[in-house]
Amino acid sequence: MAKVVLKIGDNVSTDIIYPGRFMATVLPTETPQFAFADDLQFNSKLKEGKVPPGSFVVASENFGCGSSREQAASCLKGWELVMVAKHFSRIFMQNAINLGLRLIICPDIEAEAGDDLEIRGDKLVNVTQNKEFAITPLPPARQAIIDAGGLIPFVRSRLAAEK
């Protein structure tokens, strides 16, 4: 079980997740410091270590829309956040999968910052509100990439198994 540390709405663009003025910083070890940089309160919590790994960020429709910048996914992966949304934009979703960022598609999610969430099989349970919501599973091949930690570890593992 983990807490919702941020609740955001529809059409959250990659520029909100990782502002364009930081595009010169591309190393996955450096991008996390700029996650939601314009939300000074949340960004400060991240940098001060007040957000435990595995915490949930809950969004609504079209999370990650806008540009195809991979840094939007890598900065979230750097904090080991779990992204829950009713819908993810296509390019953000593929970048997130390639980087091993945990994604949960939950079309009916109802949660607020501070709520406790728990994954139970194919359900996401809001323990605080005592409600359950169906999870739309990712295709097995995509989930396998996330479970491996991203596309590079997935391919390395497959190649090692073939030897």
Confidence of residue 88 (pLDDT cuts 50, 70, 90): very high
Model confidence, pTM:
0.93
User: Does position 5 have pLDDT exceeding 90, yes or no?
Assistant: yes
Q: Which helix (H) or strand (E) holds 58?
A: strand 56-58
Burial of 67 (0-12, 13-18, 19+ CB in 10 A): middle
Q: What is the DSSP letter of 32?
A: G
**For the segment 41-72, what is each residue's pLDDT rounded down to a tens digit?**
999 999 999 999 999 999 999 999 998 889 99
pLDDT for residue 94 = 97
pLDDT of residue 135: 98
The CATH architecture one would assign to domain 2-137 is Alpha-Beta Barrel (3.20)
**∠71-135-96 over CA atoms, to 5°?**
15
- DSSP assignment of 65-129 equals BS---THHHHHHHTTT-EEEES-B-HHHHHHHHHHT-EEEE-TT----TT-EEEEETTEEEETTT
Look over the chain and give the mean of its residue pLDDT values, rounded to a whole number. Answer: 96
Residue 28 binned pLDDT confidence (cut-offs 50, 70, 90): confident
d(CA 101, CA 145): 10
Residue 22's pLDDT band, with cuts at 50, 70 and 90, is very high
Distance (Å, whole) CA 82 – CA 52? 11
* pLDDT value at 40 more than 90: yes
pLDDT recorded at residue 68: 86
Per-residue confidence band for 99, with pLDDT thresholds at 50, 70 and 90: very high
